[in-house]
Amino acid sequence: METLIEVHGLEKTFTLHNQNSARIAVLNDVTLSVGSGECVALVGPSGAGKSTLLRCLFGNYLASAGAIRLRHEGRWVDLPQSAPREILALRRSTLGYVSQFLRVIPRVPTLDVVAEPLRELGVETASARERAAALLARLHLPERLWHLPPATFSGGEQQRVNIARGLIAEKPILLLDEPTASLDAANAERVAELIDEARRRGAAIVGIFHDTEIRGRVATRLHPVAVEKFEAVA
C-alpha cells in the first residue's frame, strides 16, 4: 500500500491579535499517515480540532509547526513549505475537499459547478457536463435543478452538489468534512457507496463522520483527535 499522506508533529495555534493576543492551541503534535485505499475517520468530541486538521491538510489553515507531506504527481510536496501556486496545482489534480457547506458562486448553474474541477483539468465542457450529470443522477438530485444555481437549494441538495463537485475529478487524496450531515439515510447510503468506490480505486481518504453508522460503514480505521485546547503561556 502506497502512502499518500504523511503528517508529522503538526501543531496549530490560533493567535487572536485583536483579543488581547489570546493564543488557542488546537492541534499539538499530530502524526498521521494514510495510504492508498484507506479511509481514516477522525474521531473526537466537538471542538477537538477535527475540522482544523482537515483544513490544515487542504492548506486552508496555515500549520504553526510540523510537516504535511502529500504525494502529488509522483513526488512528495510539503504543504506548509509550498507557494500558493503550488498548493493550487496540488488541489487541481491531487487534493479534493468536501466542506460542510457549499460556497456558492452566483449565477453558475449546478451542472457547471459540479463540472468545474474536470474543466480545470482540461476536460472538454461537453464531456465534463455529461459526467457531472451522471454523478448528480446517482446522487438522486432532481434533474430540474441541474440548470439552476444551487444558492436556493435545500441543505441536503446543496450537500449533494458539494459532494459531486468534490468527487467528480477522482482525485487521489480526499478530505471529507461531514459529507452526510444533512442527508437522509437513503441519500447517505449513496454517498457511502461513492466513498467506497473512491477508496477501491486507490484514493487515500480522511473524513469526519458524525453519524456512527455511516462511519462504521465507510471507515477502514479510526484516528482519535484529542482535546488539546489551552491558553498557551505568553
Partner 1 sequence: MSAQHGDRAAAAKTPGPLSQLAGKGGGAPLLRVEGLSRKYGGRIGCSDVSFDLHAGEVLAVVGESGSGKSTLLQLLATRLALDAGSLHYQITGRGLVDLSALSEADRRWLMRTDWGYVEQNPRDGLRMNVSAGANVGERLMAVGARHYGEIRSTAKDWLQRVEMDPARLDELPTGFSGGMQQRLQIARNLVTRPRLVFMDEPTAGLDVSVQARLLDLLRELVTDLGLAAVIVTHDLAVARLLAHRILVMREGRVVETGLTDQVLDDPQHPYTQLLVSSVLQV
- What residues line the site for partner 1 (CB under 8 A)? 14-18, 55, 59-62, 84-89, 92, 105-108, 119-120, 122
The b/e string for 117-156 (b: 16+ C-beta within 10 A; e otherwise) is: bbeeeebeeeebbebbbebbeebebeeebbeebbeebeeb
**70 touches 36 (CB < 8 A):** no
**Would you say 62 or 232 has its CB closer to partner 1?**
62
Provide φ and ψ at 67, rounded to 5°.
Answer: -115, 140
State the minimum distance, in angstroms, from the CB of residue 99 to partner 1: 10
**Would you say 71 or 199 has its CB closer to partner 1?**
71
State the minimum distance, in angstroms, from the CB of residue 23 to partner 1: 13
According to DSSP, the residues that pair with 174 across neighbouring strands are 96, 205
**Would you say 85 or 144 has its CB closer to partner 1?**
85
State the minimum distance, in angstroms, from the CB of residue 121 to partner 1: 8
Closest-CA residue to 115 (of 94, 101, 100, 130): 130
d(CA 186, CA 142): 15
**Would you say 120 or 196 has its CB closer to partner 1?**
120
State the minimum distance, in angstroms, from the CB of residue 120 to partner 1: 8
